[in-house]
Amino acid sequence: MFSRELKALRRLDPRQFLLQALNYAGGMATTLMFWHALCLATNCESPVVVVLSGSMEPAFYRGDLIFLTNPASERYHIGDITVYKVPSQDIPIVHRVLETHDFFDSGVDQQLLLTKGDNNPVDDTQLYGGLEYLERKHIVGKVRGFLPYIGYVTIAMNDFPRLKYALLGGLGLLGLLQRE
Amino acid sequence: MHTIWSRINNISALLSSCMMGLFAAIALSSLAQQFFQAPLDPSSVSITSLKVAPGKGKQSKVDHALVQFELDANLTPLFNWNTKQLFVYLDAEYTNSKGVKNSVVIWDRIVRSKSSAKFHVEARQKYAFRDVTGFRDSAATYTLRYNLMPHVGALVYGVAGSTNNSIPFPPLAKNNV
């Protein structure tokens, strides 16, 4: 089944190989540029996030893909579903805003937020690592829309690292060896 | 052109394009339907009892408000082919004497089917309504809002009903509640 690919591998000369590698690198660079342009447009460090836990069921299940924006001038309201990161941990958490307190004094626009997962019995105070309320700077973005189940591939790749290496290795080989 | 790899490639490309087209059609059609729909009948929100309980030190450092309310809502027009669930919540909004604007959710419910979208609820609050910034001498408006979560597409927020006038907080209850 791989006889054609093995023949191509034997016939490969350095110039062709370098040309393929250049095409490959060009494609990756374009993808990276689009991703960063999206991050800038939405003012969000990761505008597409996969839901990792079941704390927002039945709204979001593990593996759903959600789209975030983080407009700098907009305040968050209760009922918004936000993704936030507590400074002590690096895991983004997708929960709904339960309380907001907006301070307008002395030119400082400060907003304190309290969140809770729909499927959790209590609010998130215990997850805040010592803080009583979240501040605006902890919020990564607000959920605008979502696609079901698409992100399950990334969860599977995290749970089975060999799958990730196999997929990436296979794709890399195919990309380098194919002529078209 | 006729190897198995190119066939798998073509089929999977066609499949993903068709699925994206289908998702876009579902999402856009349900948004368009909501845009052209008649507005909802306003739900009735009334507060039957409102008390302020003192903070007791160890358990609760700040004063609490204890609210009992009555809701009557009919949200059945919101259920279409793309509605997964409705998240309905009752919130209290007030601006206190120091100029701090507060919103607190005191009750919520997940509505998963059209039959349960018409409800009459007489209950007390689900979540603690804490006096974090001071609600002495201020008044709160209680609004019933909904969040429509689709199977595919954008989330929609709306207002179902409200106590259109604000209800002042009573002074601290003298006896322990």
Residues of chain A in contact with residue B20, where contact means CB-CB under 8 angstroms, are: none
CA distance B120 to B116: 10
Taking CA atoms, A134 is separated from A48, A137, B62, in Å, by 22, 8, 19
Model pLDDT for residues A43-60, shown as the tens digit of each residue: 888 888 888 888 888 888
Single pTM value for the model: 0.79
**What is the block-wise mean pLDDT of chain A (180 residues), using blocks of 10 residues?**
68 81 92 93 87 85 88 85 85 89 73 89 83 86 85 77 80 66
User: Would an 8 Å CB–CB cutoff place A84 in contact with chain B?
Assistant: no
Mean pLDDT of chain B: 84
Smallest CA–CA distance, residue A143 to chain B, in Å, is 8
Of chain B, the percentage scoring pLDDT greater than 70 comes to 94
Q: Taking CA atoms, what residue in B is nearest to A106?
A: B99
Is residue B137 within 8 Å of B100, Cβ to Cβ? no
Q: Where are the domains of chain B?
A: 1-37, 40-168
CA distance B18 to B2: 22
Phi first, then psi, for residue B113 (nearest 5°) are -145, 160
- Neighbour-count burial for A115-129, b at 16+ CB within 10 Å, e otherwise: bbbbeeeebbeebbe
**For the complex shown, is ipTM > 0.85?**
no
Model pLDDT for residues B73-98, shown as the tens digit of each residue: 888 888 888 899 999 999 888 888 77
Q: Which fold has domain B40-168?
A: Immunoglobulin-like (2.60.40)
Q: Cβ B155–A144 below 8 Å, yes or no?
A: yes
* Nearest partner of A59 among A91, A95, A100, A97, judged by Cα: A95
Q: For residue A121, is the peptide bond before it cis, meaning its omega torsion is within 30 degrees of 0?
A: no
Q: What is the pLDDT of residue A90?
A: 80
Is residue B118 within 8 Å of B160, Cβ to Cβ? no
Q: Taking CA atoms, what residue in A is nearest to B132?
A: A101
